[in-house]
């Protein structure tokens, strides 16, 4: 039985498929199961929608909580919040917000993310009529409620507003895909992927998944989801105008022209 991208082969019994990658683990999982876990707990085939805590499969923890001894708890250094999530140390924030602000993502190859209308997925390559710069919003709900901080333990949907000709065309969301398929876009919020953003040093962020990790397999960064929840892509996130004709854009530079 081959894995999804046909790079590894194993002997699996009928009705099972080979899941995993060289960064996590490999196992033959039955239909309706996924390979889940992490480096701390190890990996196991669990029913879809469940996670592995090192002892057994169980419900997936939400709102940034992690599974410890069969219970969903806040990660070390954080505390429970009123909304059921976890709040970080006072005075620290990501510098990113939902809805009211738009962003562009620049990868380590020097290019920014955009949608390739021929390949039908996002990548970081030279921009052209075929490959257009993405202009992204972080959203915690379908309405993209504004003025919420984006924290590392938040699940966010990502909306691409670049190139929308009219409101009738509707929003485009980065899609939820599986089995090594490249992340594309969808008009349906229900089919959008769950992502997470966390700060790195030196002004960078790491762009990952909320329930799965995010990885790539070529120098143009076509993204896929992976079972390793810690997998993420280093990016520079730049604030860009949502509306290029808005007068507020005059305040985009806080100091000298070109300053960040």
Range scoring the smallest mean pLDDT among 120-124, 165-169, 196-200, 214-218: 165-169
Q: What pLDDT was estimated at residue 168?
A: 46
Of 102, 112, 203, 209, the residue nearest 152 (C-alpha): 209
Region 155-184: mean pLDDT is 78
The class that CATH gives domain 102-251 is mainly beta
* Percent residues over pLDDT 70 in the chain: 89
**In which band, very low, low, confident or very high, does the pLDDT at 259 lie, cut at 50, 70 and 90?**
low
Tokens of 170: 């509707």
- Distance of CA 216 to CAs 98, 135, 153, 220, Å? 25, 20, 22, 8
Say yes or no to pLDDT of 256 above 60. no
Of 205, 180, 181, the residue nearest 195 (C-alpha): 205
Whether 215 and 231 have beta carbons less than 8 Å apart is answered as yes
Q: Model's pTM, two decimal places?
A: 0.64
Distance between the two ends of the chain, CA-based, in angstroms?
51
Say yes or no to pLDDT of 128 above 60. yes
Q: What pLDDT was estimated at residue 165?
A: 45
Q: What pLDDT was estimated at residue 100?
A: 74
- Distance of CA 2 to CAs 186, 203, 215, Å? 28, 40, 20
Q: How many CA atoms lie within 13 A of 148 on its CB side?
A: 18
- Burial code (b: 16+ CB inside 10 Å, e: under 16) for 104-142 equals bbebeeebbbbbbeeeebbbbbeeeeebebbbbbbbeee
Give the rounded distance of the alpha carbon of 110 from its chain centre: 20
Say yes or no to pLDDT of 125 above 90. no
Output the 3-class SS for 5-39: CCCCECCCCCCEEEEECCCCCEEEEECCEEEEEEC
Each residue's pLDDT tens digit, 234-251: 999 988 988 888 888 887
Region 160-184: mean pLDDT is 75
Region 82-107: mean pLDDT is 77
Q: Is 80 helix (H, G, I), strand (E, B) or coil?
A: strand
Mean pLDDT of the chain: 83
Spans of all domains in the chain? 16-87, 102-251
Say yes or no to pLDDT of 86 above 80. no
């Amino acid at each position: 039985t081959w894995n999804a991208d046909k790079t590894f082969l194993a002997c699996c019994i009928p009705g099972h498929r080979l899941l995993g990658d060289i960064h996590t683990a490999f196992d033959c999982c039955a239909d309706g199961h996924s390979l889940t876990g992490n480096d701390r707990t190890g990996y196991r085939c669990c029913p879809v929608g469940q996670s592995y805590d090192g002892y057994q499969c169980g419900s997936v923890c939400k709102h940034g909580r992690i599974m410890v001894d069969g219970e969903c708890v806040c990660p070390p250094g954080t505390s429970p919040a009123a909304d059921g999530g976890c709040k970080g140390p006072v005075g620290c924030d990501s510098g990113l917000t939902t809805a009211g602000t738009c962003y562009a993502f620049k990868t380590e190859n020097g290019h920014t993310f955009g949608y390739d209308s021929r390949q039908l997925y996002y990548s970081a390559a030279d921009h052209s009529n075929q490959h257009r710069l993405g202009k992204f919003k972080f959203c915690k709900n379908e309405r993209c409620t504004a003025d919420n901080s984006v924290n590392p333990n938040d699940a966010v949907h990502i909306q691409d507003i670049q190139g929308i000709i009219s409101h009738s065309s509707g929003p485009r969301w980065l899609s939820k895909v599986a089995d090594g398929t490249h992340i594309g876009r969808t008009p349906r919020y229900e089919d959008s992927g769950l992502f997470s953003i966390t700060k790195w040093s030196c002004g960078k962020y790491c762009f990952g998944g909320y329930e799965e990790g995010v990885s790539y397999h070529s120098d143009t960064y076509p993204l896929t989801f992976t079972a390793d929840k810690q997998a993420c892509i280093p990016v520079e996130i730049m604030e860009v105008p949502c509306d290029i004709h808005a007068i507020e854009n005059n305040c985009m530079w806080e100091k000298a022209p070109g300053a960040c």
